[in-house]
Structure 1
Amino acid sequence: MAVKFSTSLSNDPLDPDVRDRIRKDWDIELRQHQKEVLERIDTQKRWRLEDNERINLREQWGTEVEKHDREVEDRLRRDEEHKSHMHEQWEREVEEHKKEVEELRRREEEERLRLNMFWTDLASHTCTTYATREYTARLVNVPSYYNRRVEACMATPVKIHGIEYMPKWCEDHGPNDVIGHWEVDQHEPDCASYWIRYKDFGCISPGSGQRRIEHYLEHLPSGADWKEFCATTPASFLGMHFMGSEFCFQNNGGTYGHWVFDDESCK
Structure 2
Amino acid sequence: MGDEKPCSPSEADPLIRPRRSYRRYQSSCVYVAIALFFITFTIVNFSISLSKDPLDPDVRERIRKDWNIELRRHEEEVLKHIEIKKRWLLEDKEHEREVEEKRKHEEEERLRLNMFWTDLTSHRCTSYATREYTARLVNVPSYYNRRVEACMATPVTIHGVEYTPKWCEDHGPNNVVGHWEVDQHQPDCAPYWTWYKDFGCISPGSGQRRIEHYLEHLPSGADWKEFCATTPASFLGMHFVGSEFCFQWNGGTYGHWVFDDASCN
TM-score by length of 2: 0.78
State the Cα deviation string for residues 165-205 of structure 1 (Å, max 9, x = none): 11111111111111100000011111001111101101111
Q: Is residue 185 from structure 1 mapped to residue 183 from structure 2 by the alignment?
A: yes
Aligned-residue RMSD, C-alpha:
2.3
Gaps of 5+ in 2: 1-35
Render the CA deviation track for 1:91-147: whole Å, top value 9, x for unaligned: 111111111111111111100000000000111110000000000001000111111
1:153 paired residue number: 151
Match of 2:197 among 163, 188, 199: 199
Please name the residue that 1:266 is paired with. Answer: 264
Question: Which residue of structure 2 aligns with residue 11 of structure 1?
Answer: none
Give the AA of the match of 1:184: V
| One of 166, 173, 176 as aligned partner of 1:168 | 166
* Cα separation, 2, equivalents of 1:226 and 1:133: 15
**For residues 52 and 190 of structure 1, do their structure 2 counterparts lie closer, same or farther at Cα, with a shift above 3 Å needed?**
closer
Q: Distance in 2 between matches of 1:247 and 1:180?
A: 34
Q: Structure 1 CA distance, aligned partners of 2:221 and 2:41? A: 104
Residues 1-267 of structure 1: pairs in structure 2 closer than 5 A: 55=50, 62=60, 65-267=63-265
Gaps of 5+ in 1: 1-41
Counterpart of 1:82, as a letter, is: K
Superposed displacement of residue 76, structure 1: 1.1
| Distance in structure 2 (CA, Å) of the matches to 1:66 and 1:157 | 69
**What is the number of equivalent residue pairs in this alignment?**
224
What are the superposed Cα offsets for residues 230-261 of structure 1, whole Å, 9 maximum, x if unpaired?
00000111111110000000101110000011
Judging changes above 3 Å, is the alpha-carbon distance between structure 1 residues 179 and 61 closer, same or farther for their aligned structure 2 residues? same
**If the length of structure 1 is used for normalisation, what is the TM-score?**
0.78
Shift of 1:215: 0.4
Q: Percent identity?
A: 69
- Structure-2 change in CA distance of 1:54 and 1:219 (3 Å): closer
> Residue 46 and residue 265 in structure 1: after superposition, are their counterparts in 2 closer, same or farther (change >3 A)?
closer
Taking the aligned partners of 2:88 and 2:143, their CA distance within structure 1 comes to 36
Q: CA deviation at 1:57?
A: 6.7
